[in-house]
Amino acid sequence: DLLLIVVVYFALMAPPRRAILVGWTVGFLADLMSIERMGLMSLTYTATALLLVSTRDSLFRRGPVAQFLVTLILGLAIRAGWAVYVQVLYAASTGSLRTVALSACFTAFVAPLAIALLTSAAPLLGASPLKSGARRTSFTHV
């Protein structure tokens, strides 16, 4: 789930407003490419960005282990939520629990490398990662 990795990167490294906006934008674009109801992906990725922005000060954000664990936990939560959504609305299965877990694990293993690549490409992407002395929880930074 490369979209989740992009949201995790911005939620860990960018100012809060930008991170939340990226979460919503990624979700909106995913909604446009999905056959599901409009807003499901936007809500999912915006909530993911909000959750991570609100808890990131307690994390070692640049550490690959933290990036792996955050991506794994969020990936499992998102996939479990989608599985419940599909089961309730369509009485269908999205796959076995094993498939859901393997998918989240694969995404988490790729996350530290992808985040390193995104960090090195930050100037090209127009992303300006937080400076080490910047306040990370203030919504006044844009």
Looking from the CA of 17 toward its CB, the CA atoms found within 13 Å total: 6
Where residue 117 falls among pLDDT bands split at 50, 70, 90? very high
Q: Say how far apart CA 112 and CA 21 lie, in whole Å.
A: 22
Residue bearing the bigger pLDDT, 5 or 36: 5
DSSP code string of 14-43: S-HHHHHHHHHHHHHHHHHT-SS-TTHHHH
- The runs of H, that is alpha helices, within the chain are 2-13, 16-32, 40-55, 64-90, 97-120, 122-125
Which token pair is 72? Answer: 């794994």
Amino acid type, 132: S
Q: Which of 100, 3, 94 is nearest to 42 (CA)?
A: 3
Q: Residue for token digits 């090195």? A: 120
How far apart (Å, rounded) are the C-alpha atoms in residues 32 and 66?
31
Q: Which DSSP symbol is given to 133?
A: T
pLDDT at position 126: 60
Task: Give me the mean pLDDT over the 9-31 stretch.
Answer: 94
How confident is the prediction for the chain on average, in pLDDT?
Answer: 85
Give residues with Cβ within 8 angstroms of 131, minimum separation 6: none
Q: In this model, does residue 28 exceed pLDDT 50?
A: yes
Q: 70-114, pLDDT tens digit by residue? A: 999 999 999 888 888 888 888 877 677 888 889 999 999 999 999
pLDDT over threshold 60, residue 135: no
Q: What is residue 49's predicted lDDT score, i.e. its pLDDT?
A: 96
